[in-house]
Amino acid sequence: MFSAEIEIMTQPQSLTSIPELRAQIRQWRAGDESIALVPTMGALHAGHIALVALARQHCRRVIVSIFVNPTQFGPTEDFLRYPRSLEIDLEKLASAGADAAYYPGANAMYPAGFATTISLAGPALAGLEDRFRPTHFQGVATIVAKLLLQASPDAAIFGEKDFQQLAVIRQMVRDLDIPVEIIGAPTFREPDGLALSSRNIYLDARQRTFAPDLHQAMQWAARRIREGVTIPDALRDASASISASGFVIDYLEVRDSATLAAPRTAQNPAELRLLAAARMGQTRLIDNIPVGG
Ligand code: AMP
């Protein structure tokens, strides 16, 4: 009688093993339902939820995987302290209308004796993230390949926030003939421009006030390049501004959006992407924007 006032939340199916996942997939396939996969490491925020919404636009069923993948963290990185909040994540997925949450344990993903990894070249060796996280994309590609083989989705959604990762996955799917459509989702930002990230919780209150300066300086650089300032000049000035806000810059570079190669002389800004990684205290932020606006 009061149904209009009641928020109807269907709990997503909890799937914790490969056989459970495959049984659910078989059931949906028997009903001829299309399936989208949204791979995540949990600690879900509005950026992840936007990916779920985009997935729902493409497919009848949406599976969100939650797995903090050890092989994509370097030995000195934050694997152990990476935020984990499964119960809250499941509530968020219920509100977002996801059909299933797939959260296998580490032993299911990497059983004893596991010995195979995906070996990458091309965009994985662009000299951006890979320069600072040399084993990262091998770990990402291996887990994404496994997830795609386990779930055999029609589509998989990845954020442009991790722009090099998206390029690596597109390349892998093309090279290995994995039958899935890879869909990129725009970066979801705070009102002040900071890209949402599970790692933003590492920022203390003071650092949080300076964190949006990275994106603002990037926008400034892109605007100046569009106005005719040379790329080196625009990047030099933006670097100074980012450093003045308290960041230590890992990289700030303009690249071809499609290949991640260095820009050609006088290349059209519409074809270029500005990518950055910078550390604020213990927190490493990444961001990227189109140079063409
Ligand atoms: P993560 O849990 O950080 O591994 O991210 C899971 C997926 O969400 C990846 O495809 C990310 O690119 C994407 N993602 C993370 N943050 C954002 C954001 N702020 N906007 C859009 N997508 C995001």
pLDDT digits (tens, 9 = 90+) for 102-126: 999 999 999 999 999 999 999 999 9
What percentage of the chain has pLDDT greater than the value 70?
97
Mean pLDDT of the chain: 96
Provide the 10 A C-beta neighbour count for residue 230.
10
Give the C-alpha separation, 153 to 172, whole Å.
16
112 and 27 in contact (C-beta within 8 Å)? no
**If you average pLDDT over residues 230-235, what whole number do you get?**
98
Q: Are 79 and 73 in contact (CB under 8 A)?
A: yes
Centre of ligand 1 from the C-alpha of residue 63, in Å: 15
Bigger pLDDT: 138 vs 9: 138
**How many Cα atoms are found within 13 Å in the side-chain-facing hemisphere of 146?**
22
Q: What is the pLDDT of residues 187-209, one digit of tens each?
A: 999 999 999 999 999 999 999 99
- Across the range 161-166, mean pLDDT stands at 98
Q: Give the Å distance between the CA of 75 and the centre of ligand 1.
A: 22
Domains and CATH numbers, the chain: 2-185 (3.40.50.620), 198-290 (3.30.1300.10)
Evaluate if residue 9 carries a pLDDT over 80.
no
Residue 147 has pLDDT above 50, yes or no: yes
Pick from 161, 194, 287, 289 the residue to mutate for probing ligand 1's pocket: most ligand atoms within 8 Å of its CB.
161
DSSP conformational letter for 160:
G
Q: Which residues line ligand 1 (CB under 6 A)?
A: 40-41, 47-48, 50-51, 158-159, 161-162, 185, 187-188, 195-198
Mean pLDDT of 140-147: 98
Task: Give per-residue pLDDT as tens, 235-267.
Answer: 999 999 999 999 999 999 999 999 999 999 999
Q: Per-residue pLDDT averaged across 178-182, rounded?
A: 98
Mean pLDDT confidence for 217-230: 98
Kindly tell me if the per-residue pLDDT of 168 is higher than 70.
yes
Evaluate if residue 274 carries a pLDDT over 90. Answer: yes
Which of 40, 93, 198 for a ligand 1 pocket mutation test, highest count of atoms within 8 Å of Cβ?
Answer: 40
Q: Can you say whether the dihedral through the CA atoms of 118, 27, 99, 18 is positive or negative?
A: negative
The mean pLDDT value for 173-188 works out to: 98
Taking 80 as the threshold, does the pLDDT of residue 2 lie above it? no
Residue range 63-103, pLDDT digits in tens: 999 999 999 999 999 999 999 999 999 999 999 999 999 99
- Determine the pLDDT at residue 252: 98
Is the per-residue pLDDT at 4 higher than 90? no
Distances (CA, A) of 192 to 127, 163, 188, 189, 209: 29, 21, 11, 8, 9
pLDDT number for residue 129: 98
Query: Catalytic: 48?
Result: yes
pTM here is: 0.96
What pLDDT is stored for residue 293 in this prediction?
87
Strand partners, 61: 35
